[in-house]
Amino acid sequence: MPTYEYVCDSCGYKFEEFQTMSSEPLETCPVCNGKVHRKIGPGSGLIFKGSGFYITDYKKNKQSSNKKEKSTAVKKKKAG
């Protein structure tokens, strides 16, 4: 559930409210009962869940690195 930020137009009170995305925005301030407006927030942060995210997505293939090393060695022998 996202957290929405509100600001009261009358007293300037700032508060946050957990609401579903489909729920209507709040209209009254809990302090002075004045009119509030919902601020546009920066959004949520990036969250990585699960184990092995980095290892499984960015793991180097040992065979491809060995082939690169062999091809570099062959090029050096031909040049030398």
Residue pLDDT tens, the chain, 80 long: 788 999 999 999 999 999 988 999 999 999 999 999 999 876 666 666 766 566 555 555 665 555 555 656 556 666 65
- Sequence ranges of the domains in the chain: 1-41
Say whether pTM exceeds 0.75. no
Domain 1-41 has CATH 3.30.70: no
Output the CA–CA distances (angstroms, integers) from residue 1 to 4, 15, 18, 22, 29, in the order listed. 10, 16, 6, 10, 21
